[in-house]
Amino acid sequence: MTSGTELWGTLAGANVTLVQRWASAWADLQAAGMALYERGKSDDKRAANMFLRRALWESAIASYGRCAVSAKKRNIPFRDFVQDTVGEDGMAVHRQIMDWRHGHVAHRNRAEFESIETVLTYEKGAAQRPKSFNVVLKIDAGPPNDSEFVAAFDSHVTTLRDTLWEQKLFGLTQDIVADLNAGRIPWPSQLRAADDKIEAGWYSINQNITTLKASGNAP
């Protein structure tokens, strides 16, 4: 959070729009990584943790999935970025994550993630009278902490998140600063008090991408 003495001036331009879109994807990768981290601290042998573990697993899947399917607002070539960053092995992990997303977390399309059966229950014994009408669901809450897929997912997210910061956020920031200094985009015409204070139900990520020299140039 900023200090009370800091002022903000909003920028605009093509590269500014791009850095904002990639920053939004970075935040989703960060959320996926944190969900996996918190899930890893939960004992997967305790039945009492099942709903927490399922919620964190589906949060990680959904957060990652938004990077790939949020074309209307972001419109970034995320799949190409994944291919360029982690190659075919990483694309295999990407497809497995998206299978979870499309097949179970966002939709109910894949039988291997959920089964459902309608049964009558009977008392044991010679009479075998029907006792109740039951609907039985079996739902995959995600793989155990020590599975290869969980480890691959976590590594995949970390690599993409860090590379996105270095190549997209930092790289585009350098381009924006160059555009400002060359007069290709305007400097902010108005300044206002910083407003990244946390509000109820919201959280704020204030990303300091680079520090500027007194002249406005990037170091």
| 122 assigned to some structural domain | no
Q: Percent of the chain beyond pLDDT 90?
A: 62
Domain that holds residue 47: 11-109+144-193
| 23 assigned to some structural domain | yes
| 215 assigned to some structural domain | no
| 178 assigned to some structural domain | yes
Give the pLDDT of residue 111: 67
| 134 assigned to some structural domain | no
Number of independent structural domains in the chain: 1
- pLDDT tens, 150-159? 999 999 999 9
| 30 assigned to some structural domain | yes
| 95 assigned to some structural domain | yes
| 42 assigned to some structural domain | yes
Rounded (10°) CA dihedral 5, 19, 89, 154:
20
d(C-alpha 40, C-alpha 50), whole Å: 13
d(C-alpha 64, C-alpha 43), whole Å: 23
Element of type H or E holding 135? strand 130-139
- pLDDT tens, 74-131? 889 999 999 999 999 999 999 999 998 988 877 776 667 788 999 999 988 777 888 9
What's the mean per-residue pLDDT of the chain? Answer: 89
- pLDDT tens, 36-62? 999 999 998 888 998 999 999 999 999
Coil, helix or strand for 107? Answer: coil
